[in-house]
Structure 1
Amino acid sequence: MSLPVPKPQEVWTLEDEEQHAEVDETLQIEPDASVEDPDFEPSTSSNPYLISQADLNDLIRYLALSNSQAKLLGSRLQGWNLLSPGTRISVFRHHHKELTQFFNQKQSYFLQ
């Protein structure tokens, strides 16, 4: 089964462009006809949301960023003034501290 290949017009006229312009204008949404959400309330504050230390840590954990990626994210956010004052960029992971209670360190008798 073969389909015919359409051929482009060889000569374009100004009238053809006007017809295309009329079609484009009918496809545009009128400003008065926009869809409105009755529950939407725009923010009246001009201050950006500043990311706290806990928010930054949660974001890093959620995105599963490595230490270098986390430091890069923190430095970019700091450069854009989006970190709240006192937020540290350095990342410390102390997952092992939760498990140390289950292990004892005894003197090894094999290293005499």
Structure 2
Amino acid sequence: MGLTTNFRWGIYLVNLDPVVGSEQGKTRPALVISEEAINQILPIVNILPITSRKPNRVVYPNEVLIRENLFGLNHDSVILCHQVRTVDKSRLIKYIGTIDNLDIQEEILSAIRFQLGI
């Protein structure tokens, strides 16, 4: 499976199917955001799906833009902080990279707080 020991802030290729309605589906990159102490105990993780950014697409306050060639992503990408999801670790197919930039981590946490009103 090619997974790392630590999951938090890791970007993985994740199988998100099956889905219902407007949930993000397909096999796509996703960012693990759950606390590492919990990740080491439970067979599940909390993730944020990532989508490639289309030209002229607006990035909303509950999303975070990641420029191409950063953290293992080959395209300008948008982290969908409004699509928080819990998945079994067996859905994590392949490790892509880690968001190790503290400013970007804080931007992601801020977008999650905005989405959840906390």
| TM exceeding 0.5 | no
Higher relative contact order, structure no. (Cα contacts within 8 Å, ≥ 6 residues apart): 2
For Structure 1 versus Structure 2, the TM-score category normalised by the shorter chain is: under 0.3
More helix by share: 1
Structure showing greater Rg: 1
